[in-house]
Amino acid sequence: MARPVFIVDGSRTPFLKARSGPGPFTPVDLAVQCGRPLLARQPFAPDSFDQVILGCVNVIADEMNPARVAALRLGMGEDMVAFTVQINCGSGMQSIDTAYRYIREGHADMILAGGTEALSHAPLVWPNAGVRWFAGLATAKGVAAKIASAFKLRPRYLKPIIGLERGLTDPVTDLNMGQTAEVVGHLFGITRAQSDAYAAESHRRLAHAQGAGFLKGEVETAFSRDGKFFDHDDGVRPDSTPESLAKLRPVFERPWGQVTAGNSSQITDGASWIILASDAAVAKHKLTPKAVIVDSHWAALDPSIMGLGPVMSVTPLLTRNDLTIKDVETWELNEAFATQVLGCLAAWNDDKFCREILGLDGAAGEIDRDRLNVDGGAISLGHPVGTSGNRIVLHLVNAMKRLGTRRGVATECIGGGLGGAMLIEAV
């Protein structure tokens, strides 16, 4: 029989907006910054875990398999098995899901699952023509051949390309993520005014959560090597209004597009961890679980409408568990783009879409906005790609505890045409 899997505790770093140049922390630095206080407050030693699983998309050259590097730096012992998972925006949730399945099937009792990303450290890459020139120069034999090869240099060969731009462009459809959000918005008639209003509300909610202390115990202060400290998500703009956001120009589809820098998620650095345990581990270490993972589901769809991934993953998850949208009291839907979030809400409330695409008897229903992303989301705090799936589960659990709700869903769209969803119940 499948065993229950509990979420015991978790923490994350502040999400730090990428500005000019690499930020103060690498992916492993971030994982260690929030991992140390999390492990320090546990009633068991760091080497008590069975394994460590960490989501990360933009792994840097100095930190191959960042899960293992982080585990060693966290003092979890040389015997600790640790591996890194990558499923684009879903990586942080995939780490939880993989751990959940290991524990559920009896192959482990306690796992540290996380996500980390330092998008400010995304590398610059050479154009392919430049790479070929360097290769020709390196392999040329003799002085004459090397001189001849050197004279083939063209200035454009030395113009670097931001690797992140390539990473955020789908290689099959050749659409970047913002363009896929435009497609979803067009399909469901989402307006620019609606997107800007949603984005302004995200900032308002995060600013309120910070001021009210709702993030205490979740966000750990990070300390850089030069002595600076970072104690809050610094991308929040509490003065954002629909009117101020309306002044921004479209980024991806000018002049008529509606996706702007103001109603999109921010390029950000951050990390998050969650401790998962079996009932045996809970009893052994006298732990107090916060929630139990009920089920999870992954789905795939056309990459050009990847923003509808939450709809395609949540719907079968709820159906399998005999639930409807109205049965879920708290939602975390990662805010890749305001247009994309609103498109998902519209899809669930569209009778034709639900019948023809989802196989339902009619519209799934409308999600109460007071239940959705109650403390803001990626538009206001950022979207470190490999981390966000972990953060939304962590915050969902904490929000459910604060609000006294029983059932919650965390879900996200995933670049490449995927979606992931997790059903959580409070204990």
- Angle made by CA atoms 164, 168, 170, in degrees to the nearest 5: 140
Separation between Cα atoms, residue 290 and residue 401, nearest integer Å: 8
Q: Is 383 tagged catalytic?
A: yes
Residue 92: C-alpha distances to residues 81, 198, 213, 246, 281 (Å): 18, 25, 25, 32, 23
The answer to whether residue 413 is catalytic is yes
CB 419 within 8 A of CB 309: yes
For the four alpha carbons of 214, 216, 218 and 222, in that order, the dihedral sign comes to positive
Which one of the listed residues 89, 344, 354, 395 is annotated catalytic?
Answer: 89
Instruction: State how far the Cα of 95 lies from the Cα of 333, in Å rounded to an integer.
Output: 18
Q: Where are the beta strands (DSSP E) in 97-223?
A: 110-118, 124-125, 161-162, 222-223
Strands annotated E in 157-250 = 161-162, 222-223, 229-230
The helix/strand/coil state of 81 is strand
Dihedral in degrees, nearest 10, Cα atoms 163, 415, 303, 358: -170
Whether the link from the prior residue into 255 is cis, omega within 30° of 0, is: yes
Q: Does the active-site annotation cover 297?
A: no
Round to whole Å and give the CA distance between 120 and 284. 41
Name beta bridge partners: 124.
162
| Cα–Cα nearest to 387, from 197, 140, 119, 148 | 119
Q: Which of 34, 56, 344, 413 is catalytic?
A: 413
* Catalytically annotated residue among 121, 203, 297, 383: 383
* Residues labelled catalytic: 89, 383, 413
